[in-house]
Structure formats: C-alpha cells, structure tokens
Amino acid sequence: MKAHANVTPRQEALAHRALFQAIASLQSPEEARAFLLDLCTPAELQAMADRWAVVDLLERGLSYREIHKLSGVSVTTIGRVARFKASGNGGYATASRRVRDAKRPREHGVHA
C-alpha cells in the first residue's frame, strides 16, 4: 500500500471511511459505474473487474488453471482472491450473496 507523508493512521482511516460511505450511498449499478469510472484509472477498474469475475468462477468450483484459461487472470491474482474469499473480511461473500439473491425471482411481489 502506498504510504502518504504527513498522514496519520487516524487520517487514513477517516479517508477510507469517507470513501466507503460514498460507495455505500450509490443506489444503482449506473451510479456505481459513473462513480468508479470517475474515481479509477482504466487499469484499476480492470483489476477490480478481474477479481470480481474470479469470485464467481471460484464459486462455480473451477480450478485455478481453468479460471486462468477462461479469464486471462494470473494464477497469483486468482490465489489472492481465493485467500481473501476464504479468510478475508467477508466482503466477497456478502456482495456475492446479495447479487445472487437479487437475481432470484421474487415470490408474490415481496422484495428482499
């Protein structure tokens, strides 16, 4: 991680929290797209998209080699995603579950 001169750990934590709050405020994929296109370089956005694609492929039970062949993502990155998916902060699991739940047909017009 890049170190910032003259930035305390508290300031860094507050900056992270402000970013997370901004992301959480977004209300649609279109808003998220616009925000991330403004915030990230094309390479940063591609790296995040690659990691997110790997989550789905891992959940389908594909091997690292199969994932690499299908996606072009390096085996090192695949391993990192798998490691964080298994014992990270739970972010991949939460987002994956919510995306999966949102795709399910809603019964009797009830929204989750």
In the structure, what pLDDT confidence band is assigned to residue 111 with cuts at 50, 70 and 90? low
Can you tell me the mean pLDDT for 52-61?
97
pTM (two decimals): 0.84
* pLDDT score of 33: 97
What is the assigned CATH class of domain 42-104?
mainly alpha
Between these two residues, 54 and 7, which has the higher pLDDT value?
Answer: 54
Choose the weakest-confidence range: 4-8, 17-21, 67-71: 4-8
- Asked if residue 55 lies in contact with residue 96, where contact means CB atoms within 8 angstroms, the answer is yes
What is the domain partition of the chain in residue ranges? 1-39, 42-104
Is residue 106 pLDDT above 80, yes or no? no
Mean pLDDT of the chain: 93
Q: What whole-number distance in Å separates Cα of residue 44 and Cα of residue 94?
A: 22
Helices 42-59 and 75-87 pack at an angle, to 10 degrees, of: 70
Is residue 112 pLDDT above 70, yes or no? no
